[in-house]
Amino acid sequence: MPSFMKVGDVPRKRFSQFRREDGSLYSTEVMGLEGFSSDFSLLHHRHAPSSIVACESVGSAQAELIDNHPLLPRLWHTGRIETAGDTVSGRFMLCANADVVASFVTASAPSPLYRNAAADELFFVHEGQARLETIFGTLQAGPGDYVLLPKGVTHRWLPAPSLRALVFETSGHVKVPSRYLSAHGQFLQTAPFSELDLRVPSGPLLMDGEGVDVLVRTAAGLTRYTFERHPFDVVGWFGCNYPFAFNIADFSPITGSFHRPPPVHQVFEAPNMVFCNFVPRMLDYDSRAMPIPSFHSNVDSDEFIFYAEGNFFSRRGSGIERGSVSLHPAGHVHGPHPGSTDKAAERVGQRTEEVAIMLDTFRPLRLASRAASVEQAGYLHSWTARAV
């Protein structure tokens, strides 16, 4: 994140001696991106964060992925996924490539303490509430919230009483698009959201305990570390690398007299992908406008859309419902549902109340074999006016 934050007790000078009242030293941890050459935070622990008394493998993380061959658009219904498990065990993978893993997570139990050492984790909450506890402090999350957990942040999710969310594990870092930011990192006035819309951990979260387990995810699988002392022992931190939340309702849409393409809806980016929001907004308002997407061929991207709220006018009759996910891959031309373009002209100057989020990946996505159990058969033919 570009904005500097300071939370809790920190020393007057960075990398200086920082002592408790009894004169003993706190332990300073640097969490820096790109080694020591980019954004970072300094965290001040009561105890050494490296004090590990046990370590064991908890199994391999190799999920079965299959090529999208023959090339098909896909439609998955997350409403068919039963709520169970926690935010670590309750991940239902839909698709993935080397850059991102997209899963739907359901949780009705507190997660273990957990850190992902291989990816940033970007949640989008669909239903339910949860308290997120991290070494940086606490955040509350509910419907419409994006929650970004940067790589390496020890945390746990406490559903209240349950949580249903998308989670994107990105091997590179999720960032605000650079075109929204000034040369010095402030959100520009033309950006569709700003620093005021971001919710950050409000204060230190301190817990006591000995022999505390933390699951660490790497590309090879999960490792269980047992720490000598509870990892929630940070009395203060400062910097620009920290978890935050952002509600999609705080995204101010950019509209126009004629069609505005998806880049105006962008909210985040990561290497080889972008994330966009489609939120309630005025449709195109010139009397000659066609307020519906054109057919498009996604020449350089696979398009993953989650339909969160509303009825989806341009694809009404396709089987898309609240909680569906469509995957429209490169090489497959798609667009409005048959008949919807004829009705679109009547919608000039009206509003749409749809809420959807989109991930466009610049490298092909492979399919999790498990996703077939929630896939709608025959989605390929949903654009065909006459049944095949």
What is the distance between the alpha carbons of residues 376 and 297, in angstroms, rounded to a whole number? 22
Residue type for 52, please? I
Are β-strands 137-141 and 120-134 bridged in parallel, bridged antiparallel, or unpaired? antiparallel
**Location of structure tokens 């969490």:** 31
Counting residues that bind Fe ion (by CB under 5 A) gives: 1
Measured from the CB atom, the residue of 269 and 303 that comes closer to Fe ion is 303
Measured from the CB atom, the residue of 284 and 303 that comes closer to Fe ion is 303
> Nearest distance from residue 104's CB to Fe ion, in Å?
20
List the x/- string, 303-332, binding to Fe ion by CB under 5 A. x-----------------------------
List the x/- string, 96-125, binding to Fe ion by CB under 5 A. ------------------------------
Q: Are 43 and 237 in contact (CB under 8 A)?
A: yes
- In 3D space, the residue among 264, 261, 259 whose CA is nearest the CA of residue 285 turns out to be 259
Q: Which stretch binds Fe ion (CB under 5 A): 5-13, 30-38, 174-182, 295-303?
A: 295-303
Q: Which stretch binds Fe ion (CB under 5 A): 168-176, 198-206, 300-308, 366-374?
A: 300-308
> Nearest distance from residue 102's CB to Fe ion, in Å?
16
Measured from the CB atom, the residue of 91 and 315 that comes closer to Fe ion is 315
Measured from the CB atom, the residue of 212 and 292 that comes closer to Fe ion is 292
Burial of 179 (0-12, 13-18, 19+ CB in 10 A): exposed
Q: Residue 282 forms beta bridges with which residues?
A: 351
> Nearest distance from residue 68's CB to Fe ion, in Å?
16
DSSP 286: S
**Location of structure tokens 């978890």:** 243
> Nearest distance from residue 262's CB to Fe ion, in Å?
8
Q: Residue 44 forms beta bridges with which residues?
A: 28, 236
What is the distance between the alpha carbons of residues 371 and 254, in angstroms, rounded to a whole number? 34
> Nearest distance from residue 376's CB to Fe ion, in Å?
17
Measured from the CB atom, the residue of 116 and 301 that comes closer to Fe ion is 301
Q: Which stretch binds Fe ion (CB under 5 A): 21-29, 165-173, 236-244, 298-306?
A: 298-306
Beta-carbon-side half-sphere exposure of residue 196 (alpha carbons within 13 Å) = 8
* Cα-to-chain-centroid distance, residue 195: 18
Q: Which stretch binds Fe ion (CB under 5 A): 40-48, 125-133, 297-305, 314-322?
A: 297-305
Q: Which stretch binds Fe ion (CB under 5 A): 108-116, 119-127, 129-137, 296-304?
A: 296-304
Measured distance between the N- and C-terminal CA atoms of the chain, rounded to whole angstroms: 50
Q: Who contacts 76 (Cβ-Cβ below 8 Å, separation ≥6)?
A: 94, 324, 325, 326, 327, 371, 374, 375, 376
Measured from the CB atom, the residue of 231 and 329 that comes closer to Fe ion is 329
**Residue numbers 129-158 binding Fe ion by CB under 5 A:** none
Q: Which stretch binds Fe ion (CB under 5 A): 49-57, 175-183, 200-208, 301-309?
A: 301-309
Residues that bind Fe ion (CB under 5 A): 303
